[in-house]
Homo-oligomer: A and B are copies of this chain.
Amino acid sequence: MARHIFFISDGTGITAETVGMSLLTQFDLYDFEYSTLPYIDTPEKAEMVLGQIAGAFHKDGEQPIVFSTLMNPEVSKVIAKCPGVIIDAFAHFIPRLEEALGLKASGQAGKSHSVKSPDQYHARIDAVNFTINTDDGLHPDYYKIAEIILVGVSRSGKTPTSIYMALNFGIKCANYPITQDDLDHDEIPKVLKDYTGKCFGLTIDPVRLNQIRTQRMADTNYATLKQCEKEVRATEAIFREYKIPMLNTTQLSVEEIATRIVSEKGLQRSPR
């Protein structure tokens, strides 16, 4: 039977989810069932939430776990009556921060994922647009303003990683697919020649690549293990020759790939 988890917020619920999911990965054998309840910003809405938590308790016979990031004390007071275990990062840490900073918290709800700094926000949206416009080798003429160019064979993880870098770190990240055509020339593609310092190579285990490509295009030469091995080997040779740093993405999430690239290249990562 799954244990019921609630994420409750007066804003988007993203912080409550992030804190809660991080803590819960420490108990990964357990089976959880999740409900995110954003915009709980009035005592009336909180009363409805109370009903849901009580319902889950009644159904499961076990106390639900409630991750909360509520700022409004009247809303928190209602939720405090629930039959769940409440884990409230704000209630615990805000007083410590107030003391450390010598300031009172503003008490404003729903601020975490709002537009706090319009300039920074628009820089992030610009990065997303840049990345979409340069996805998969489009517009190499934009490489002069790219902060980084991910390079790798088809299905090595370039597109999701580029998008993550733009959306979450605000980094203008292009990506270029190395194809068999490029490899026939046995050297770095022309459009990348002037930008090898911005390039970062993504590589992948050929067996895994073969699985991914087979799911998409079974029975093509493109998907065969032999072709995957050939492309990966030749691409890695190019990375080595041009001293392009590389990362094997086989076991990594986009978050991990993006974090490692940013650390290795010394790029500025703007936390949000």
Interface residues of A (CB under 8 A from B): 3, 7, 11-15, 17-30, 34, 36, 38-39, 63, 65, 69, 71, 85, 87, 89-90, 92-94, 96-97, 100-101, 103, 105-108, 111-116, 121, 125, 128-129, 132, 135, 159-160, 163-164, 167-168, 251-256, 258-260, 263, 269-272
Contacts and interface: CB of A to CB of B under 8 A. Distances in A.
A96 B87 contact: yes
Given A17-B272, A36-B269, 15 more contacts: A3-B101, A11-B256, A12-B258, A21-B271, A22-B90, A26-B107, A27-B97, A30-B101, A34-B271, A65-B97, A65-B100, A87-B96, A113-B253, A113-B255, A128-B163
Contact of A128 (B11, B15, B94, B159): B159
Choose among A11, A100, A270 the residue with the greatest number of B CB atoms under 10 Å from its CB. A100
Nearest to A26: B105
Given A19-B19, A96-B85, A128-B160, A114 B27 contact: no
Contact of A21 (B96, B125, B272): B272
B159 A113 contact: no
B23 A115 contact: no
A164 to B, nearest CB: 6
A89 B253 CA distance: 23
Nearest to A97: B23
